[in-house]
């Protein structure tokens, strides 16, 4: 009996306005050769990003099915779908409920094209979905001109050379937690040997499942932030300023548009609870408090500027800058102590939220520490990172203990 054909689908959709003029794109790839087997794209008029992304998925599934039109359901294609839409991936995988009335018929339509047992889903970063993204943009451009998208005029394939597997599904070049290894896991899922067969090559790559993804949001501004004063957990507990509240609302709007946050965890300090609360109110989620995410206790330096600390406590400041084990004057916390506390909180959260996307609202030092630990960087790297108020950073944690830093100090949602 001939084994079923196997395909990788990469799909995307976009809306210039959300809702606004929208289009979708999808590409079907041979997982063995990396060859582009089919492309599909279309302009759908005014719609949201999520609707367009579902339309891209439907187009990709139909294109894959069309490549083997005479096959029965059991002998039909086996498909691995890769998308940068967390919403579509999680809903079609059955891990998220489909609540929005616009999404339900689209998800049902996608589910009817191929048997559920024949389709698997994987979230990928946007930069790994360039081919489908360009197809969607070409379709939107064509729609703006009052035309239909034509494959003959597409340049999307330039992002994905047809002669190389490495282009369509990059080989492993780093630890299992990185993006390249994620692509290898997708290939492994399509080429898994029969039980009892020794695993070699791609089959040796472990399927680690979805990571615990931490969206690390620094709290919004307080009155102390623009003055660059030490503001930790050992002094006053300032509230958000008017600017900080606006930043929190901007973050809430951005996360609502993404539709990816499943849980919200916050430092116990007021500025974080207020920031987290703004997002939670928009998403309809509860905020869970994690004490290990609180800011460093800066001791006698609380409320002072760096210059004021240098004037009053020069020797202690020099020691603090030179060693992670040195603590601020007056019984503050060293960075080494903070790292132990934050690492323990991280491990609790990873265990509690395995495979889920969690918004973690915290402070400068905890975020820098999580990034530093994920990279295996030395303590002095804490002084080499910039984190703006209400900025977003992202770290994903895999089941084998590896971590992947995906974003640092993004403030695009504030513009």
Q: Is 140 in contact with 24 (CB distance < 8 Å)? A: no
**CA 173 to CA 181: how far, in whole Å?**
7
In contact, 14 and 137? CB cutoff 8 Å: yes
Angle between helices 49-66 and 103-113 (to 10 degrees): 10
- Residue 97 burial by Cβ neighbours in a 10 Å radius (0-12, 13-18, 19+): exposed
CA dihedral 312, 314, 316, 319 (to 10 degrees): 160
Catalytic residue among 10, 53, 131, 219: 219
Dihedral sign (CA 256, 260, 262, 265): negative
Quick one: angle between helices 49-66 and 130-144, nearest 10?
A: 110
Q: Is 295 a catalytic residue?
A: yes
Q: Is 41 exposed, middle or buried (0-12, 13-18, 19+ CB in 10 A)?
A: buried
Evaluate whether 240 touches 275 at the Cβ level (below 8 Å). Answer: yes
Catalytic residue among 295, 313, 333, 413: 295
CB 11 within 8 A of CB 60: yes
Identify whether the C-beta of residue 396 lies closer than 8 Å to the C-beta of residue 371: no
DSSP sequence for 74-89: TTS-EEEEEES-HHHH
Q: Which sequence positions are flagged as catalytic?
A: 219, 295
């Amino acid at each position: 009996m001939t084994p079923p054909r196997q395909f990788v689908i990469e799909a995307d959709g976009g809306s210039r306005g959300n809702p606004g003029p929208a289009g979708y794109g999808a590409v079907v790839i041979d997982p063995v050769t990396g060859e582009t087997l089919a492309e599909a794209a279309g302009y759908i008029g005014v719609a949201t990003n999520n609707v367009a992304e579902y339309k891209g998925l439907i187009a990709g599934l139909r294109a894959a099915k069309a490549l083997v039109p005479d096959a029965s359901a059991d002998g039909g294609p086996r498909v691995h779908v890769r998308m940068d839409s967390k919403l579509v991936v999680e809903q079609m995988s059955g891990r998220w409920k489909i609540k929005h009335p616009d999404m339900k018929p689209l998800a049902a339509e996608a589910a009817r094209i191929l048997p559920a047992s024949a389709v698997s889903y994987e979230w990928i970063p946007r930069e790994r979905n360039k081919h489908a993204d360009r197809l969607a943009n070409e379709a939107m451009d064509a729609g703006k001109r009052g035309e239909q998208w034509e494959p003959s005029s597409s340049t999307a394939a330039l992002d994905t050379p047809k002669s190389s597997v490495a282009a369509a599904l990059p080989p492993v070049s780093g630890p299992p937690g990185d993006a390249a290894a994620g692509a290898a896991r997708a290939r492994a899922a399509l080429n898994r040997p029969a039980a009892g067969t020794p695993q070699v090559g791609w089959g040796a790559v472990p399927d680690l499942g979805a990571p615990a993804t931490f969206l690390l949001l620094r709290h919004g501004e307080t009155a102390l932030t623009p003055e660059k004063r030490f503001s930790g957990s050992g002094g006053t507990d300032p509230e958000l300023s008017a600017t900080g509240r606006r930043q929190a609302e901007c973050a809430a709007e951005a996360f609502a548009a993404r539709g990816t946050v499943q849980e919200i965890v916050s430092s116990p300090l007021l500025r974080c609870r207020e920031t987290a609360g703004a997002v939670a109110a928009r998403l309809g989620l509860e905020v869970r408090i994690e004490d290990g995410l609180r800011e460093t206790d800066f001791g006698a330096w609380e409320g002072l500027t760096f210059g004021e600390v240098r004037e009053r406590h020069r020797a202690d400041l020099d020691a603090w800058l030179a060693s992670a084990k040195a603590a601020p004057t007056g019984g503050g916390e060293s960075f080494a102590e903070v790292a132990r506390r934050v690492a323990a909180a991280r491990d609790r959260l990873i265990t509690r939220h395995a495979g889920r996307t969690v918004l973690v609202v915290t402070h400068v030092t905890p975020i820098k520490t999580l990034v530093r630990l994920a990279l295996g960087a030395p303590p002095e790297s804490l002084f080499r990172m910039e984190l703006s108020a209400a900025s977003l950073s992202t770290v994903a944690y895999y089941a084998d203990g590896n971590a992947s830093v995906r974003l640092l100090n993004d403030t695009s949602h504030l513009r």
